[in-house]
Chain A
Amino acid sequence: MSSILAAGTRAPNFTLRVTPDQNLTLSDLRGKPVILAFYPADWSPVCGDQVTLYNEILPEFHKHGAELLGISVDGVWCHAAFARDRHLHFPLLSDFEPKGEVARKYRAYRASEGVCERALFVLDRQGTIAWSYCSPIAVNPGADGILDALEKLSNQADAHGHLENTSLAK
């Protein structure tokens, strides 16, 4: 099993397509915690689906002021159809061309199958990886690890008096 980028590492910056005519650059989100959820493919079965689960928990992520980004090698039109079908309220990024380039930077690419690992990264407000986890490809990792990491970040920010208003909003 490849080992993904670990806590303490600076998160590699990237710009990826988020819709057919829009890009998203990671560094534009500096100042907020960011959750990167790499996943193998759109359209996996509904009930145990990671993306569907995170969509339901989005308000909890937002309580910490955090942004969630889903990333796979699927193309923008595929993402658009998938997001519409599942009523997703967070962006899906397309690591499509060059294929898997961003996933490779995070060491979260499975070259043999040509898909992203099921890998999670929580970045702090300065863009450093605070927590990362790579799940067996067939296992939905749930969200408890992400929430623990976000809570730690919020507590640290609190201690430093940097807590943003957004994270206080209930």
Chain B
Amino acid sequence: MAILKIPVSQSDHVRGPAHAPITLVEYGDYECPHCGLAYPIVNQVELSFSGRMRFVFRHFPLSEVHPHAEIAAESAEFAGAAGMFWDMHDALFENQSRLSVATIFMIGAGLGLPQAAMRHALETGQYKDKVRSDFMGGIRSGVNGTPAFFINGLRHDGPYDYASLVSGIQMRLAAEANS
């Protein structure tokens, strides 16, 4: 069973209580349709385990097949530097069907992010290394496509519909309680 090799740290984007008994890590790509399908499901799972779960999103852009995936990931990092990672993250997935450079800048403007600074950060690749480091960490943990989920450090190998993710989490908790 694949293990998450890069532990959750300061450099991650985390939503939910720091000491939650459940940590769900997703490796995802803002332009991947499967990640788009998983997006509302993950939100639902977060609601179900509200107060007991933290969610971590790491970038795994497949740029050669998804031309806007990298710039979307870097934009999320740019927003993150202003404390708005999750706002950007949500908006990117909610606008996935019309993802383009123009859409990304529109979302940025909507969030009140400084446009000139955003353009500069994307043009100079200010967050390229951060995105690449997420990607390579994923490779090391055996991520072979997106979305890839890890529940408390172990890969969830089943499907990512609501019932499967919830039962994956419950089984993990039960296994930990018994060990």
Contacts and interface: CB of A to CB of B under 8 A. Distances in A.
Contact of B144 (A46, A50, A60, A86): A50
A19 interface: no
B58 to A, nearest CB: 15
Contact of B135 (A55, A56, A140, A147): A56
Nearest to B33: A47
B146 interface: yes
Contact of A55 (B32, B33, B64): B64
A142 B65 contact: no
B140 interface: yes
B34 interface: yes
A86 B66 CA distance: 10
A143 interface: yes
Nearest to A58: B64
B139 interface: yes
Contacts of A147: 139-140
Contacts of A143: 139, 144
A62 to B, nearest CB: 14
Given A47-B34, A48-B145, A144 B65 contact: no
9 smallest beta-carbon distances between A and B, as pairs = A48-B145, A142-B144, A140-B144, A87-B64, A142-B142, A144-B142, A47-B145, A47-B34, A143-B139
25 contacts: A46-B62, A47-B29, A47-B32, A47-B34, A47-B145, A47-B146, A48-B145, A52-B64, A53-B144, A53-B145, A56-B63, A56-B64, A60-B136, A60-B139, A87-B65, A88-B64, A89-B64, A140-B145, A141-B144, A142-B139, A142-B143, A143-B144, A144-B139, A144-B140, A144-B142
